[in-house]
Amino acid sequence: GVVRLRGGRDNYVSVSVVSVGDRRQRYAQLAQDYAVLHAQGETVMAQAPGREQGAIVQAIRQELRSTGALGDRETVIQTLTPVFLDSKTRRLTDSYREGQILERYDAERRKTERYTIDRVTARSRKLTLTGTDGQSQLIKIRDLDSSWRLYQPGTLAVAEGDKLTLTGKHGKLSAGDSV
């Protein structure tokens, strides 16, 4: 369905459910509805189960391109997706993978330290981390407390006309800022 959000005194959410048996036709209809509302200046959000998300995003982006709301040329940007760990999962070697990013805020120096996990050694329960300066160090998994944050690196294709909202601080931009 297509959800409509309006600001002002009459805050309400309008939900439309379109029943179309064929999946491709359903995605095409959703994409057309999305593009029409987007062109009218509405804030639009499409939501789908995980296995359908990619196909729906692709259909919406294609429709936005065909209406001129998105540029044809895409650029790939690097992303970090938080991996949420509680006190139990933080202590498990299976929670960590090579290539993930570990980050810690150093309050004394008022600086964030970022490391890439190069190796997970289950037998010794240690991680081999490489800092931004290229230096490697070993850290015991039991020494990782709640001051450490874990991220899964990824990529995102963006085009002219995309609206991005930051979920974390980046340079002079804060979480919640749109670009």
Q: How far apart are the C-alpha atoms of 58 and 20, rounded to whole Å?
A: 18
pLDDT in tens, 100-110: 999 998 888 88
Global pTM value: 0.73
H/E run at residue 128: strand 126-131
CA end-to-end span of the chain, whole Å?
26
pLDDT in tens, 111-168: 889 999 999 999 999 999 999 999 999 999 999 998 899 999 999 999 999 888 887 7
Mean pLDDT of 41-51: 84
Residue type, 65: R
User: 12 or 50: whose pLDDT is higher?
Assistant: 50
Question: Which of the residue ranges 29-33, 62-66, 125-129, 171-175 would you say has the lowest mean pLDDT?
Answer: 171-175
Half-sphere exposure of 172 (CA within 13 A, CB side): 1
Res. 12: pLDDT tops 60: yes
Q: How far apart are the C-alpha atoms of 96 and 122, rounded to whole Å?
A: 10
By residue count, the chain amounts to 179
- SS (HEC) of 57-124: HHHHHHHHHHCCCCCCCEEEEEEEEEECCCCCHHHCHHHCCCCCEEEEEECCCCEEEEEEEEEEECCC
Instruction: Using only the alpha carbons of the chain, give its radius of gyration.
Output: 21
pLDDT value for 107: 82
pLDDT value for 11: 61
**Angstrom distances, CA of residue 90 to CA of 29, 33, 146, 149:** 43, 43, 8, 10
Contact by Cβ (8 Å): 167, 88: no
Q: How far apart are the C-alpha atoms of 96 and 152, rounded to whole Å?
A: 10
